[in-house]
Structure 1
Amino acid sequence: MTRPHTNLTALLPALLLPLLLAACGSNDNDDNGSGNGSPAITVTELAPGAYAVAAGDAANPSSGTYYAAADGSRLLVLDDSAGQAAAMYRRDGNGAWQAAPGATTATSVALLGSNAVAATTLAVAPFAGNYAVRLADRSVALFSVNAAGDIVAGSTGCRLTGKVAPAALPNTLKLALATAGCADLPAQSDGYLVADADHAPAAFRLVVPGKAAPVDLWAFRE
């Protein structure tokens, strides 16, 4: 249930660019922290749109996707080698960046490169239907989404319920997810339904904060 990997070589710019971005991201601007004494988090700013990105070590970069809205909201999802979310960074409006897993020290995420991808505002109704996701223990959870955005649990032991709603970020819907009988999945969490063109054959992925790493559930139509 992983998506095709982005060609990272095409994303890497001249060596000076990541150094400059890292330097720019190392300030102590209060807007980059939570405002309550939490470690400051900075992430490279991109114009509104959706992007395939590379970040981290230039010799062994991580690929991911970056979503930016005109109201200042941002979402960055970095994937591991299997295409599952390893880290997520999000900002609501012009508030503070938040990280999952949570940051314990000041963190600066500098992008090594970015390529714009198709970006659109998603409506809820087209996602109405029945879906299956495979969990970390290889079991399957069934659920449905109705035209109002309600997530209704299926007949499986792991029960997923919640709500999706329009979001400012392109290619996303806001997600409120509740789980029961789903092993180590959080009981309640807020995140995003993300649907990019390169997710096929998956319909979308559900990405929410988790304990050690983000929860990343790839949903396939039944």
Structure 2
Amino acid sequence: MDRHVAQQSPVAAATAIYSASMLKVYDAFVLGVVSPAVWRCPRRAMADQYDRHVSERHLDIGPGTGYFLDRCRFPSPRPQLALLDLNPTVLERARLRVERYRPTVHRHNILQPYDLGGLRFSSASLNFVLHCLPGGMSGKSALFDHLLPHLDPGARVFGSTVLAHGVGHTRVSRAQLDLLNRKRVFHNRDDSLEQLEAELERRFARHEVSVRGSVALFEATV
């Protein structure tokens, strides 16, 4: 990908907040405090998704610090693991954390088609990714269209996202949602449970969405 284009894209701007200093506190603050206390979704709920669905050929989109990959139970001691993100700092942090699996690293804009060198996967995850992407739910869901060519029939796609509508909010979570959107950390003012369900139904043979607080946890089968 052209470096200038990547730096100027809205997706690049959305991922820029994940600097080395931010990633140092991400696990403790975002996953350990904000997720359970503000969004009312403990990180255990997301970890459980990994343990249920991660396969021996797994693609992790937006891997963050690699927290869940580091802890999940892969069905094989030597999985084929790939990391996909536009932010090189994120990719390097996650790569080092799961270096024992020798992951491949792919820097791409997930809202555009991308080439993974012919690699195919039987599972893919998008944890806390959708609410960070610019645009409405229909536009950002193009990431599923770009993901599908890299998945085997029957592959599992799973993840989580904070929604603005169709989920439970408290005064605190609503205020935090508004603040993060004003700061352009989140782009989910209009994202709803109904929209998410519709986009998944449009693309996958089966899907299931559950709600924990302000978070939708989704699972889908190709």
- TM-score, normalisation: structure 1: 0.27
Tell which structure's C-alpha radius of gyration is larger.
Answer: 1
Normalising by structure 2, report the TM-score. Answer: 0.27
Q: Which has the higher helix share?
A: 2
Structure with greater strand percent: 1
Choose between structure 1 and 2 for higher RCO, CA contacts under 8 A separated by at least 6 residues. Answer: 2
